[in-house]
Structure 1
Amino acid sequence: YMTVRSLINEERGGISSERAIFIDTEGTFDPGRASVFLRQNDLSERDLSRIDVLRVNNVIQLKGALEVAADHVKSGSSKLVCLDSISHPFRQYGGLKGLRERQEDLQEVLISLRRIAERGSVVIMTMHAMRWGRDLYSKGGFVLSHTPHNMLCFRKVRGKVIVTLEDSSYLPPGQAAFVIREDGIFGL
């Protein structure tokens, strides 16, 4: 949904991005669903071609996709880079043996994302799994949980989605709710 919203002009709540980058590590991008959001936002099916979906399966491919994204941002053609999920490629490292190497590679990816953000006016969204318990913990460990400026937690509760701002370097805590239906996403 955010990739489609980024294509909309600023007067209508978008960010006027010529192109959107979606780095897909889990095979979750659905062109059919994106088409629904395009229609909901008065865009045409042709605008689907403005969303560049980069499918990656491992950390090496992820680093390459980030280089492509950096080029798009530097050229000014993209104002959105969405990475779903940042933690998935790192599952290739098994157990505690690979912990140091995994954290080093994750740190390298996060530094790449930060450099992309510093290149221009761009929104960078990353998704990753959280561990539930007494407190929320990022499955990426210390490196991943302390790098983002804003950490949002999405939960499904009785047919609606509640998003909570868990951590921010500059915003106060808060919550919002919305529903996802066949015809789009709607705030409550």
Structure 2
Amino acid sequence: MPMTPPPELASLSLAEIARLAEAQKLPPVASWNPAHCGHSDMRIARDGTWYHQGSPIGRPAMVRLFSTILRREPDGRHVLVTPVEKLDIDVEDAPFVAVEMKVEGEGRQAHIAFRLNTGDLVPAGPDHPIRFDQHDDGPHPYLAVLNGLEALIARSVYYDLVALALDNGSDPAGIWSRGAFFPIAPA
């Protein structure tokens, strides 16, 4: 069955985004415990491109489908899991990329939502915190998505987050979403 992408982020209120995010029916991968079957010959690049046997997967619907059966194991590995098999998948950084952001409200009243490269909508807040790690090439911001999976926040979106943090005048500099505060300096 083809999966249709969600409506344009700009046309949705954050309340509508939160409702859509909660209504998504995803497979219960956290409860599936099949035997490990090997490697999937798949890789997710830092830019969010999915590869199979070295070639990019060009069909967005296939990437979306695979993303719904992705899980992070307690040891940090990423796997594709079904009720009958579990296969490793290489992930260069984070399995998703937050490519677009929408903000409603200001300061402590702000609500922020992100669109991922898979089309999924994720509202930042206590259940989906934002964190910042320092790397050799600068800070890397991440959004918690689901079950230990994260989205790397795209550089252009990160700059928008920094502008929000500077505008709200908090000390330390940070952003608010759904009542939670996220400092922009790496811990």
Normalising by structure 1, we get a TM-score of: 0.27
Which structure would you say has the larger RCO, counting Cα contacts within 8 Å and 6 or more residues apart?
A: 2
TM-score by length of 2: 0.27
Higher helix share: 1
Higher strand share: 2
